[in-house]
A and B are shown apart, each in its own frame.
Chain A
Amino acid sequence: MSASDGRGGAPGLGRRLEAWLPQIVVSPIFALSFFFVYCFIGWTIYISFTKSRMLPVYELAGLLQYERLWATPRWYVALENLFVFGGLFIVGCLVIGLVLAILLDQRIRAEGVLRTIYLYPMALSFIVTGTAWKWILNPGLGIERVAHGLGFENFKFDWLINPDMAIYTIVIAGIWQSSGYVMALFLAGLRSVDDEIIKAAAIDGAGPLRTYAGIVLPMLGPVFLSAIIILTHLAVKSFDLVIALTGGGPGYATDLPATFMYAYAFQRSELGMAAASAVMMLATIMAIMVPYLYSELRGGNR
């Protein structure tokens, strides 16, 4: 700007402004983030320690809401579902993603096309794919009808409306949607493994299986870690898929913490309990993310 003529005389206002410009530009952006993230988190934490129900009250009430939360059977259902869904979802995505990545890493001619096919679900909204899976898993008209057509007359598939099995339909759709992403992560990891190492192993007489299990996989440790972190994060935040597929039902059989929080906040007007459940979710995510981000930022040395 026009500050270059300030040389010699007293530093002009323009020059001083120029020196502060980066901070001036960053501070409102940062202030926005800070307000909407940290102040809001603070507010939610505060409300979780009050008696708030329909409307927020700011008088502290100790751990009342947490006691109520942990005395609610529905919350336990949500937590149990999170463990079942999260566990199967993470393991399923890791296994499928890793197998696909290794297979694709064998110098396949159609690799580009296959990769595109494996990954496209990630571009779709969970509401869209949930709608599709709801129809595929439809008791009666869906897979069941296909099996009947193939001659399996007694085949019954009612997981979507069976309270004991409905959570597994969410696992199926979740793995379908996210495993391609894990494949992409592993493939990038495999590509960074030096060809020379693999060749050296081959010269030493290691078969492909031993090469991968003994040499390549241990080198992918950091990729496993990132993938598990990302998948955990996805699992804890899962909301759309449940809403689209089962709506949390039958009853509340497929509730997850995210849908529990939403129901208590916006349908049951239990602000305090909703806030307490949100704080539990935040604590879970933080326990996983903070050490990870810390090591990523330090390790990357940036």
Chain B
Amino acid sequence: MSGRTDDIVRPKGARQAVLRVLLFVILGLFAAYYLLPLFVMVSTSLKTLEEIRTGTLVSLPGTVTFEPWAKAWSAACVGVKCEGLKPYFWNSVLIAVPGVAISTFLGALAGYALTKWRFRGADVIFGLMLFGAFIPFQVILLPMARTLGLLGLAGTIPGLILVHVVYGLAFTTLFFRNFAVGVSDSIVQAAKIDGAGFFSIFFRILVPMAVPTFGVTVIWQFTQIWNDFLFGVAFTSSDSNPVTVALNNVVATSTGVKEYNVDMAAAILAGLPTLLVYVIAGRYFVRGLAAGAVKG
């Protein structure tokens, strides 16, 4: 337990080695603890119902079957409709793509304008926007439901996109503001003297420098929107449900035999996009989490 102090103090070799092994055993056990649910999900999803009834959680599938996956994708029942998760998965794509794009773009503009074109009240505006990131969304559910109704967007995908854009703005603005604060004012000043305007500075100077910030923001927003359940369940109707709501309905549908293997396959399908993003771009994901903690 003394890696950081290795260079100075060298306890007896044997004791050191034992501690080192212990350290790895503990870390390994924790890794197993975190991986266990994923392992159980995957292995259950590949088992036949017969095997689930006779085996245990941790036993490996004797005969691997992809039947549950096929069923979860295109035949499982969500309420009374039995078309699988597929339509809802595409709903989530249709919600997430514009939701991420619009909120990221607007956040980038706002973050840039609030820092590089400082005007009176910019800090107050930012403070007020930031507060919006931390309200419990229960406090806006009722008026939002009514507003969507008035706009004719109740129960629709565009309605849910609007909700995600509006409540994502606080975070996207925060990310880009923190980025733009670090950009030297003299670059912007020089560009202004050269006659560059608001938008040309944004597109020619800020945007190319902000590629990592775009990465962080896009991943953050995508994860938030894809994983959202509260807005989805409150503001969409059965045809426009996102995949999280549909998954919950699949699991809750209790007609006939409970098909745990199909439930698990459905859960993996619903979680796959964000899991893939995490595996591919984990670094950005972690940076987003850190920034989400409002640590400069």
Which residues of chain A have a CB within 8 Å of any CB of chain B?
1, 3-4, 18, 21-23, 25-26, 29-30, 32-34, 36-41, 43-44, 47, 56, 96, 100, 103-108, 110, 114, 116-129, 131-136, 138, 141-143, 145-146, 149, 176, 180-181, 184-185, 188, 195, 198-199, 201-203, 208-209, 211, 226, 230, 233, 236-237, 239-240, 243-244, 247, 257-258, 261-262, 265-266, 271, 274-275, 277-279, 281-282, 285, 289-290, 292-293, 296-297, 300, 302
Look across to chain B and name the residue whose beta carbon is closest to the beta carbon of A111: B27
Q: Determine the chain A residues whose CB is within 8 A of the CB of B264 once the complex forms.
A: 131-132, 135
Looking at the complex, which one of A145, A211, A243, A285 makes contact with B136 (CB distance below 8 Å)? A285
How far is it, in angstroms, between the C-alpha of A278 and the C-alpha of B234 when the chains are bound?
Answer: 15
- Interface segment, one of B32-40, B153-161, B207-215: B32-40
Look across to chain A and name the residue whose beta carbon is closest to the beta carbon of B170: A33
How far is it, in angstroms, between the C-alpha of A154 and the C-alpha of B167 when the chains are bound?
Answer: 50
Look across to chain B and name the residue whose beta carbon is closest to the beta carbon of A150: B56
If A32-B166, A208-B2, A240-B229 touch, does A43 touch B234 (CB 8 Å cutoff)?
A: no
B247 near A261 with CB under 8 A, answer no
Q: Determine the chain A residues whose CB is within 8 A of the CB of B18 once the complex forms.
A: none
Number of B interface residues, CB 8 Å? 104
Query: In the assembled complex, how far is the CB of residue B182 from the closest CB belonging to chain A, in whole angstroms?
Result: 10
A23 near B270 with CB under 8 A, answer no
A26 near B114 with CB under 8 A, answer yes
A281 near B119 with CB under 8 A, answer no
Query: In the assembled complex, how far is the CB of residue B13 from the closest CB belonging to chain A, in whole angstroms?
Result: 16
Q: List 28 A-B contacts (CB under 8 A).
A: A25-B110, A26-B122, A33-B166, A37-B140, A38-B128, A40-B144, A107-B3, A120-B278, A123-B274, A124-B271, A125-B270, A125-B271, A128-B244, A131-B263, A133-B37, A134-B251, A145-B56, A185-B290, A188-B290, A202-B5, A236-B136, A239-B229, A261-B141, A274-B142, A278-B142, A281-B136, A282-B139, A296-B295
Q: Determine the chain A residues whose CB is within 8 A of the CB of B30 once the complex forms.
A: 96, 100, 114, 118
- Interface segment, one of B61-69, B73-81, B281-289: B281-289
